C-alpha cells in the first residue's frame, strides 16, 4: 500500500478502464444499447447527439462531453430521437467490430469502453458511484480530460508502436480524472469510504491505517494525526465514514486478508501477524465473522472457483462473492 488511501482502494477493486471501440455516424441515425454489465465509459469526439437512458429524460451531448454510466439500463444514442434505433449488437457484429459506421458522413464521432472491477471487491466502488456522471467539455476541472481525450484519439488513429498500451494507460487516467471532477462538483458525498478517503481532515489518519494496517493503532494516535481531540475525531470519523475509526481499520484489514487469500500464497499464520493479530485463531475468528468462512476454507473455495473459471465453467464464482456484502468500509 502506498499511503494514498484512494489509490489503495482503486487497486483493491482492480478498476481497469478499457476502450473497446467507437462509432462514426452521419445523417439521421439512432442506436439502442442493451443494459451494460459493466460501468460504461464514452466520449463524444466530434458533433452532437442525444443520450436517452431508459426511464430518464433525454439530454444532449456536445463535442468533448464525457459520460460514465453506472445505470443497469438500456440506452439510446441518436441524432434524432424519432428515428427507429438499430440494435447495437447487430451494428457491432456481436462484438467483432471495434469501430462502426452509419451513413456516409462523419457528423458525429464517439469512442467508448467500460470499466472492469473485481467481482468480489468491485462493489466498494460501483455501489457508491452515481448512476450517471456527465462531464461537459467546459466544466471546471475538465481541461485535463480534454487533453487525455485528444491523446487517446491520436493513439487510436496513428497506430504508433505501443499504441495499445498507451491507450490503456490514458483510459485509466481518464477514469480517475472523471472521478476527481465528480468529487469537485458533486458537493458532499454520501457517508461511506469514498467520502472518508477524500476528506482532507481525515486524510492523515486514514493514511496511517492504510500505510501500516498491522500496527495496533490507538484512537488517540489517530486523533492526533487529524489534529482533533479523541471525542471530536471519533464523532467526525463516524459521521463521514459511517464507521468508528477502529472498526474501519478492522474492515480494511479483512479486505486485505480476503485479497491475499484469493490471490496470494502467504500462510494464514503469517497473514494474521502481518495484519496485527496475536494468533492465527484470533484472526480466523475475525475473518469468519466478516466473510462467513474460515480463512483456509475461503482460500480453498477461491482456488476451486479459479479452476472452474479457467475451464470455462459458468457456475464458477469468486469465493466469498455472496458474502462480500457483509463487509463494508462504511455506510452508503
What domains can be seen in the chain, in order of their start residue?
Answer: 5-186 (2.60.120.280), 195-326 (1.10.10.60)
Q: How confident is the model at residue 71 (pLDDT cuts 50, 70, 90)?
A: confident
Cβ atoms 171, 18 nearer than 8 A: yes
Q: Choose between 188 and 222: higher pLDDT.
A: 222
Distance CA 59, CA 54 (A): 12
pLDDT given at position 185 = 82
User: Among candidates 273, 271, 275, which has minimal Cα distance to 213?
Assistant: 275
- For the stretch 161-214, pLDDT in tens is 998 889 889 999 999 999 999 988 877 888 988 899 989 999 999 999 999 999
Over the chain, what is the mean pLDDT? 88
pLDDT given at position 309 = 61
Q: Choose between 190 and 240: higher pLDDT.
A: 240
Cβ atoms 193, 329 nearer than 8 A: yes
Does the pLDDT value for residue 19 go beyond 90? no
pLDDT given at position 273 = 96
State how far the alpha carbon of 100 is from the alpha carbons of 93, 106, 197, in Å.
9, 11, 40
pLDDT given at position 100 = 85
User: If you average pLDDT over each of 136-150, 238-252, 295-309, which comes out highest?
Assistant: 238-252
Give the β-pairing of 30-33 and 86-87.
Answer: parallel
Does the pLDDT value for residue 1 go beyond 70? no
State the number of CA atoms in the 13 A half-sphere of 182 facing the CB.
Answer: 22
Mean pLDDT of 291-306: 89
pTM of the shown model:
0.83
pLDDT given at position 137 = 93
Mean pLDDT of 253-258: 95
Q: Choose between 1 and 87: higher pLDDT.
A: 87
Cβ atoms 117, 39 nearer than 8 A: yes
Q: Choose between 185 and 223: higher pLDDT.
A: 223
Does the pLDDT value for residue 278 go beyond 70? yes
| The dihedral sign for the CA sequence 262, 264, 265, 266 | negative
| The dihedral sign for the CA sequence 148, 151, 157, 162 | negative
Cβ atoms 149, 43 nearer than 8 A: yes
Q: How confident is the model at residue 50 (pLDDT cuts 50, 70, 90)?
A: very high
pLDDT given at position 319 = 53
Does the pLDDT value for residue 325 go beyond 50? no
Amino acid at each position: 500500500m502506498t499511503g494514498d488511501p484512494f489509490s489503495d482502494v482503486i487497486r483493491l477493486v482492480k478498476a481497469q478502464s478499457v476502450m473497446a471501440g467507437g462509432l462514426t455516424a452521419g445523417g439521421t441515425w439512432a442506436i439502442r444499447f442493451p443494459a451494460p454489465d459493466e460501468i460504461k465509459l464514452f466520449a463524444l469526439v466530434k458533433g452532437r447527439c442525444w443520450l436517452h437512458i431508459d426511464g430518464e429524460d433525454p439530454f444532449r451531448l456536445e463535442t468533448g462531453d464525457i459520460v460514465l454510466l453506472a445505470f443497469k439500463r438500456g440506452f439510446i444514442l441518436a441524432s434524432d430521437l424519432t428515428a427507429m434505433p438499430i440494435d447495437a449488437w447487430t451494428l457491432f457484429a456481436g462484438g467483432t467490430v471495434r469501430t462502426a459506421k452509419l451513413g456516409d458522413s462523419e457528423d458525429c464521432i464517439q469512442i467508448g469502453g467500460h470499466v472492469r472491477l473485481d467481482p468480489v471487491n468491485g462493489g466498494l466502488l460501483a455501489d457508491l458511484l452515481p448512476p450517471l456522471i456527465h462531464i461537459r467539455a467546459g466544466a471546471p476541472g475538465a481541461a485535463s480530460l480534454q487533453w487525455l481525450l485528444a491523446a487517446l484519439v491520436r493513439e487510436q488513429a496513428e497506430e504508433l508502436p505501443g499504441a495499445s498500451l498507451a491507450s490503456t494507460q490514458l483510459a485509466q487516467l481518464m477514469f480517475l480524472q472523471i472521478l476527481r471532477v465528480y468529487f469537485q462538483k458533486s458537493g458532499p458525498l454520501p457517508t461511506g469510504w469514498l467520502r472518508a478517503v477524500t476528506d482532507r481532515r481525515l486524510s492523515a489518519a486514514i493514511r496511517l491505517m492504510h500505510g501500516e494496517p498491522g500496527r495496533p493503532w490507538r484512537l488517540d494516535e489517530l486523533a492526533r494525526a487529524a489534529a482533533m481531540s479523541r471525542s471530536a475525531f471519533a464523532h467526525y470519523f463516524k459521521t463521514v465514514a459511517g464507521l468508528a475509526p477502529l472498526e474501519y481499520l478492522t474492515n480494511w484489514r479483512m479486505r486485505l486478508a480476503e485479497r491475499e487469500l484469493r490471490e496470494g500464497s502467504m500462510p494464514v499464520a503469517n497473514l494474521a501477524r502481518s495484519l496485527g493479530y496475536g494468533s492465527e485463531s484470533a484472526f480466523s475468528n475475525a475473518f469468519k465473522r466478516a466473510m462467513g468462512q474460515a480463512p483456509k476454507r475461503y482460500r480453498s473455495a477461491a482456488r476451486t472457483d479459479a479452476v472452474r473459471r479457467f475451464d470455462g465453467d459458468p457456475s464458477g464464482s469468486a469465493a466469498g462473492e455472496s458474502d462480500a456484502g457483509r463487509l463494508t468500509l462504511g455506510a452508503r
